[in-house]
Structure 1
Amino acid sequence: MDLAIPLVLGALAVIVVTAFAPRLGIAAPLILVVVGVAVSFLPFVSAVELEPELILGGVLPPLLYSSAVSMPTMDFRRDFKLIGGLSVILVIVTAVIIGWVLYLVVPDINLPMGIALGAIISPTDAVATSIVKRLGVSPRIVTILEGESLLNDASALVVLRSAVAAMAGAVSLGHVAWDFVYAVVVAVAVGFVVGRVSLLLRSRIKDPVLNTAASFVVPFVAYLPAEHLGASGLVAVVVTGLVMGQGAPRYLRPQDRRAEESNWRTVELLLEGAVFLLMGLELFGLVTEVHEEHQSAMKAVMIAAVAFVGVLVVRTAFLVPFLFALRRDRRELKQQRAALARAQERLDQGLPSFSGGPFPPGRGPGGRTLSDREKRRLKRRAERERKRRGGMDADQLAARKTRVQQFIDRRVADIDYLTGEPLGAKQGVVLVWAGMRGVVTLAAAQTLPETVTGNDDYHRALLVLIAFIVAAGSLFLQGGSLGWVVRHLGLASEDAGAARAERQQLVAELAGTAAAECARDDLTRADGSAYDPGVVDLVRRESVRIVDENGFDLVPGTENTRYDQYRELRIRVIRAQRDELLRIRDVGTYSADALGDVLEYLDADEIGIELRGAHDEDDPAPRAAE
Structure 2
Amino acid sequence: MESAFFLVVLVVTILAGTALAGRLGFPAPLLLIAAGVAASFVPGVPEVHLEPEVVLLGLLPPLLYATAVQTSLVDFAANRRPILLLSVGLVVFTTLGVGAVVHALLPGIGWPVAFAIGAVVAPPDAVAATAVARRIGLPRRLVTILEGESLLNDATALVSLRTAILAIGAGVSAWQVAGDFALAAGGGALVGFAVFKAVAWFRPLINDPVLDTAVSFVVPFVAYLAAEAIHASGVLAVVVAGLLLGHKAPLLQTAKSRITERTNWKTIAFLLENLVFLLIGLQAQWIVGDVLRSAVPLELVAGVCLATLGAVIVLRLAWVFPARYLLVRPGPDPVTGRTPPAANTFILGWAGMRGVVTLAAAFVIPPGTPYREVLLLAAFTVVAGTLFIQGLSLPWLARRLHVRPPDPMEDALARATLLQQASKAADERLAELEFEDAHGVVELIRQRSEQRNFAAWERLGTSDGQETPSELYARIRTDMIRAERERVLQVRAGGQVS
TM-score, length-scaled by structure 2: 0.87
Match of 1:428 in 2: 345
Match of 1:64 in 2: 64
- Partners of 1:110 and 1:195 in 2: CA distance: 42
Contact preservation (8 Å) 1:140, 1:421: no
Match of 1:460 in 2: 372
Relative distance call for 1:70 and 1:532 in structure 2 (3 A) is farther
Q: How does 1:199-218 map to 2 (within 5 A)?
A: 199-218=200-219
- Are 2:396 and 1:479 aligned? no
Match of 2:147 in 1: 146
Contact preservation (8 Å) 2:130, 2:146: yes
Q: 1:549 Cα deviation (Å)?
A: 4.2
Relative distance call for 1:242 and 1:25 in structure 2 (3 A) is same
Match of 1:538 in 2: 444
Contact preservation (8 Å) 1:430, 1:485: yes
Contact preservation (8 Å) 2:362, 2:379: yes
Q: How does 1:183-582 map to 2 (within 5 A)?
A: 183-294=184-295, 298-325=299-326, 328=329, 330=331, 417=334, 420-452=337-369, 458-493=370-405, 495-520=407-432, 523-524=433-434, 530=436, 532=438, 534-546=440-452, 549=455
Contact preservation (8 Å) 1:518, 1:540: no
Q: Deviations over 1:506-563 (max 9, x none)?
A: 222222122112111xx15xxxx6555721222222233346649xxxxxxxxxxxxx
- Partners of 1:328 and 1:492 in 2: CA distance: 22
Q: Deviations over 1:4-52 (max 9, x none)?
A: 1111111111112222323322211111100100110001113211110
Contact preservation (8 Å) 1:323, 1:423: no
Q: 1:282 Cα deviation (Å)?
A: 0.7
Contact preservation (8 Å) 2:96, 2:115: yes
- Partners of 1:229 and 1:204 in 2: CA distance: 29
Secondary structure (helix, strand or coil) at the match of 2:123 reads: coil
- Partners of 1:213 and 1:154 in 2: CA distance: 26
- Partners of 1:421 and 1:133 in 2: CA distance: 21
- Partners of 1:532 and 1:462 in 2: CA distance: 82
- Partners of 1:162 and 1:211 in 2: CA distance: 38
- Partners of 2:130 and 2:250 in 1: CA distance: 24
Relative distance call for 1:416 and 1:7 in structure 2 (3 A) is closer
Q: 1:100 Cα deviation (Å)?
A: 1.5
TM-score, length-scaled by structure 1: 0.70
Q: 1:151 Cα deviation (Å)?
A: 0.2
- Partners of 1:237 and 1:328 in 2: CA distance: 30
Secondary structure (helix, strand or coil) at the match of 2:134 reads: helix
- Partners of 1:73 and 1:278 in 2: CA distance: 31
Contact preservation (8 Å) 1:514, 1:540: no
Q: 1:219 Cα deviation (Å)?
A: 0.5
Q: 1:325 Cα deviation (Å)?
A: 3.4
Structure 2: which 5+ runs fail to align? 457-498
Secondary structure (helix, strand or coil) at the match of 1:417 reads: coil
Match of 1:37 in 2: 37
Contact preservation (8 Å) 2:330, 2:339: no
- Partners of 1:484 and 1:140 in 2: CA distance: 20
Contact preservation (8 Å) 1:223, 1:233: yes
Q: Which has the higher contact order (CA 8 A, sep 6+)?
A: 2
Q: How many residues align?
A: 455
Contact preservation (8 Å) 2:416, 2:453: no
- Partners of 2:49 and 2:429 in 1: CA distance: 61
- Partners of 1:451 and 1:128 in 2: CA distance: 33
Q: 1:444 Cα deviation (Å)?
A: 0.8
Secondary structure (helix, strand or coil) at the match of 1:420 reads: coil
- Partners of 2:387 and 2:130 in 1: CA distance: 12
What is the aligned-residue identity percentage? 43
- Partners of 1:278 and 1:254 in 2: CA distance: 36
More displaced stretch, 182-191 vs 297-306? 297-306
Relative distance call for 1:170 and 1:418 in structure 2 (3 A) is farther
Match of 1:160 in 2: 161
More displaced stretch, 268-277 vs 314-323? 314-323
Q: Deviations over 1:355-411 (max 9, x none)?
A: xxxxxxxxxxxxxxxxxxxxxxxxxxxxxxxxxxxxxxxxxxxxxxxxxxxxxxxxx
- Partners of 2:101 and 2:144 in 1: CA distance: 31
Q: 1:163 Cα deviation (Å)?
A: 0.8
Secondary structure (helix, strand or coil) at the match of 1:48 reads: coil
Q: 1:290 Cα deviation (Å)?
A: 1.5
- Partners of 1:532 and 1:27 in 2: CA distance: 59
Relative distance call for 1:131 and 1:532 in structure 2 (3 A) is farther
Secondary structure (helix, strand or coil) at the match of 1:250 reads: helix
Secondary structure (helix, strand or coil) at the match of 1:491 reads: coil
Relative distance call for 1:467 and 1:327 in structure 2 (3 A) is closer
- Partners of 1:473 and 1:210 in 2: CA distance: 42
Q: Which amino acid aligns with 2:159?
A: V
Structure 1: which 5+ runs fail to align? 331-414, 453-457, 551-626
- Partners of 2:125 and 2:7 in 1: CA distance: 24
Contact preservation (8 Å) 2:353, 2:387: yes
Match of 2:6 in 1: 6
- Partners of 2:327 and 2:110 in 1: CA distance: 37
Contact preservation (8 Å) 1:442, 1:468: yes
- Are 2:19 and 1:19 aligned? yes
Q: 1:293 Cα deviation (Å)?
A: 1.4
Q: Which amino acid aligns with 1:422?
A: T
Q: 1:291 Cα deviation (Å)?
A: 1.2
- Partners of 2:415 and 2:380 in 1: CA distance: 44
Relative distance call for 1:319 and 1:304 in structure 2 (3 A) is same
Q: 1:205 Cα deviation (Å)?
A: 1.0
Q: Which has the larger radius of gyration?
A: 1
Relative distance call for 1:494 and 1:88 in structure 2 (3 A) is closer
